[in-house]
Each structure stands twice: as structure tokens, then as C-alpha cells.
Amino acid sequence: MVIKRKRGWEMPEHLATSEALFLNRRVLIGGAAGLAAGSLLGGRAALAAAGDQTLYPAAQNPAYTLDRAITPERFSADYNNFYEFGTSKTVLPAANALKTHPWTLKIDGLVEKPFEIGVDDLIRKVGLEERLYRHRCVEAWSMAVPWTGFPLSKLVALAKPASGAKYIRFETFMDKAMAPGQRAFFYPWPYTEGLTLAEAGNDLAFVVTGVYGKPLPNQFGAPIRIAVPWKYGFKSAKSIVKVSFTADRPKTFWEGLQASEYGFWANVNPAVPHPRWSQATERVLGTDQRVPTLIYNGYGEQVAGLYKGLEGERLFL
């Protein structure tokens, strides 16, 4: 028996559009009510951000700026995908239950010597910078955010992968008591994602510990997540506890759930539709605009070379 369950990512475009109208209405209402709601959210987000405040804001890296406006925090911080805390976009209240300190990252698999490191120690070791990145969800909405973090290549260097390592695998925390979404047994928890080591070594692949000049609020995937801006958002795993180096391509959460729709590569491409909706345009969070989607989410110059010789693969799904 096939049981059809509705998931957020299966949302048909006409529903996504009505959400756009909803957000748009919030923009239009604006004024005193909008400002009050915004500052309330800001207060809660600040409470949830429990990292070492003294390290923020970090200096902005001028090599990573954008041609578009930064999405105001009141929109990006109140519209999240974090299935551990529910399948709606309003996970902020539930995500307050996430205990982010202390937080230990485990490095294992094909490395010189497996080890564990506290996130605060890791940050002090590698340093922080701010980068402005696009983010394009497979559901055809997008945002532009100032992430704070460090290049993933620095973490790879610390890990000292063995010669047989070809892939890097990210694993999110698993705690059913804290994260009610993880009690839904039909999802292949914990959330996992992966990249090739070549992708992980690209300058754009970023480990994120903060946003908007402060430590990550919980709903953004505190205290440590990934940002891979040329791929659909689901590749950017949140609240990571383990980084493993493997010889074989890791099976990912969404691949495990629906391989025909969510593959390993998942590079952004407006010309390759999702099986159930177009990827040609995207709704910009906090605005009434739909803009054309760009191949590799606008980062083709930096990343297209990674896929030479792989043209036979499902690179865009």
C-alpha cells in the first residue's frame, strides 16, 4: 500500500503563490504593526542565539557580495525549513527547545585520526568571516543572507582525510525529546547530506555559525550548519553533530525519502524542472517579486568546473 503524505516540498506552485501573497501582505501592512512584530521576533531570535557573542559581527569578506538586497531578518527568521521541528515554515517557537551549548562536533571515517571538537573551540581555531550569499530552496523561494562562518576547506584540512576519502557526509543531531519532528517515524532520521571532497574544497562551500552579525538563532540550524549556495537549500544541513569522510557516496535524507525527486547533486538549474513544478523562477522572501533563477544559483563561474566529465549524472535533481 502506498500512503500519500503531504510534505512541504510537495507543495504545488499555486499554494506557494498564495504564501507569497501572504508575505506580501505583511510587507504592505508595514507601518507600526509590522515594526512591532519585527522587533518582537528580533528579541526572541536574539535570546535563542547563545554562541560566543564577542566574535560577532565578523569582518565581511569583500569577495562575496551580491547584486541584490539582503533579505530582512524578520522574513528569513520566520520562514524556515527545519523538519526536526515540524513541517510548517513556522518552526521558530519549537526550535527554542534546541540546546546548542555545549555542542560537540565529531569528525570520523576515513581520516588520519577521528576526533571531537567543541564548536566554540573550533571557531577560535579557524576564525570567522562574513559572506553575503544567495539561498535557493528547491521549493522555488529564495533569500539573500549575511552568513558568518569559515570555509569548509578549513574543516577538511583539520580533519586530514585519508587518501581513500572521496565524499564528506554531514549528520544532524538526533534527539526525539527535543525535536518533535523526529518522532515522525516515516522520515529517515537523522538528517544527512553530503558533498564530494572536490565540492567541499570549493571556496564557496561554507560552514556557518552565525547570521545577521550574531550567532545563529536556533531556527537557522544553530550552532553549526553548512551553506552550499549553488545547490538547492536542502543540501545545506543544519545543526550538525558529525562530519564523516567516506569512500562511497553517502545516502542523503531526501534521497532516502524520494530519490526520484531529490538526488545527490541537486545543483540549481532553471532549465530542469522539479518533477512537479518549474524551477525557472523564484519568489524572493519578503517581497512581492518573482525573479528568474540562475544556473548554479548565479555561481556558475566558480563551480561549473566541478562537473566537467560528469555530464551523464543527474546533476540538477
Lay out the site mask for ligand MTE across 236-255 (x = CB under 6 A, - = otherwise): xxxx----------------
Q: Which of 159, 186, 183 is nearest to 170 (CA)?
A: 159
Length of the chain counted residue by residue: 317
Lay out the site mask for ligand MTE across 71-90 (x = CB under 6 A, - = otherwise): ---------xxxxx------
Q: Is 56 in the site for ligand MTE (CB under 6 A)?
A: no
Q: Binder to ligand MTE among 147, 220, 307, 316 (CB under 6 A)?
A: 220
Lay out the site mask for ligand MTE across 277-296 (x = CB under 6 A, - = otherwise): --------------------
- Select the binding partner of residue 149 from ligand MTE, Mo ion, none (C-beta < 5 to 8 A, by kind): none
Contact between 207 and 149 under an 8 Å Cβ cutoff? The reply is yes
Q: Is 191 in the site for Mo ion (CB under 5 A)?
A: no
**First CA to last CA across the chain, in angstroms?**
26
Run of H or E residues at 284: strand 281-284
Shorter beta-carbon distance to Mo ion: residue 135 or 169: 135
Q: Is 159 annotated as a binding residue?
A: no
Run of H or E residues at 209: strand 206-211
Cell of residue 38, nine digits: 519585527
Integer Cα distance of 105 and 172 in angstroms:
10
Shorter beta-carbon distance to ligand MTE: residue 151 or 190: 190
Helices (DSSP H) in 30-100: which residue ranges? 31-48, 73-76, 92-95
CA angle 182, 183, 186 (to 5 degrees): 85
Q: Is 130 annotated as a binding residue?
A: no
Q: Is 131 in the site for ligand MTE (CB under 6 A)?
A: no
Q: Binder to ligand MTE among 147, 187, 230, 234 (CB under 6 A)?
A: 234
Backbone φ and ψ for 199, nearest 5 degrees, come out as -65, -45
Residues lying near ligand MTE in the complex (CB under 6 A): 80-84, 137, 172, 191, 220-221, 233-234, 236-239
Annotated binding-site ranges: 80, 83-84, 137, 172, 225, 236-238
